[in-house]
Amino acid sequence: MSGPEAHWRAALAEGRFLLQRTAEGTAIFPPRVAAPGRGEPTLEWFEASGRGTVYSLSWIQRRPPAAPYNVALIDLEEGARLMSRVEDVDAGALAIGMPVEAFIDRSGEEPILLFRPAGDRS
């Protein structure tokens, strides 16, 4: 047995992006032991579509030659919101409302969830 955070991370390591939903169908992120604001412990795991849109964004500038990177808030199709980064996109192209899709990046120590513009499989 493990808590919901460990469960979520284990699933991500297996290539699955999970969300929880309440009995009413409200999607929850980050994972919790109970429904926020209600306390009901009957949360159900389900696999997210990975589809979302950019809700807000910021480009963080670094000392050259390091390139700027972005931090974005992503509204998931299912309703939850999370912080992430959108890859494969220029500063001029990344915009609020842009459709994006999730992928799992394994280049670091721990797998993390990233996004790229929807339909861009390059």
Partner 1 sequence: MSDSFPRGRTAIAGLATFGVGEMPGYSSIELTAKAGLQALEDSGLSLRDVDALYICQPDDFFAGLTFAEYLGIQPRYTDNNRTGGSAFMSHMASAALALDAGYIDCALIAYGSNQRSNGGKLATKITSNAWDLPYAPLFPLTSYALAATRHMHEFGTTREDLAAVALAARAWAQTNPEAFARGPLTLDDCLSARMVSTPISVRDCCLVTDGAAAIVMTRTDRARDLAKPPVPVLGAAAATWWNSIAQAPDVTVTAASESGPRAMAMAGVSPDDIQTAQLYDAFTINTILFLEDLGFCPKGEGGRFVSSGAIAPGGSMPVNTNGGGLSYCHPGMYGLFAIIEAARQIRGEAANQLPGIDLALAHGNGGTLSSQATAVLGSMATL
C-beta of 84: minimal distance to partner 1 in Å?
Answer: 6
What is the rounded distance in angstroms from the CA atom of residue 118 to the CA atom of residue 48? 15
Closer to partner 1 by CB, 57 or 89: give it: 57
C-beta of 80: minimal distance to partner 1 in Å?
Answer: 10
C-beta of 11: minimal distance to partner 1 in Å?
Answer: 15
Assign 12 to helix, strand or coil.
Answer: helix
Burial of 100 (0-12, 13-18, 19+ CB in 10 A): buried
C-beta of 77: minimal distance to partner 1 in Å?
Answer: 17
Closer to partner 1 by CB, 94 or 118: give it: 94
Interacting residues toward partner 1 by CB under 8 A: 5, 29-30, 55-61, 69, 71, 73, 81-85, 91, 96, 108, 110, 112
Closest alpha carbon to 96 in 54, 59, 63, 67: 54
Closest alpha carbon to 77 in 17, 8, 4, 27: 27
Closer to partner 1 by CB, 78 or 85: give it: 85
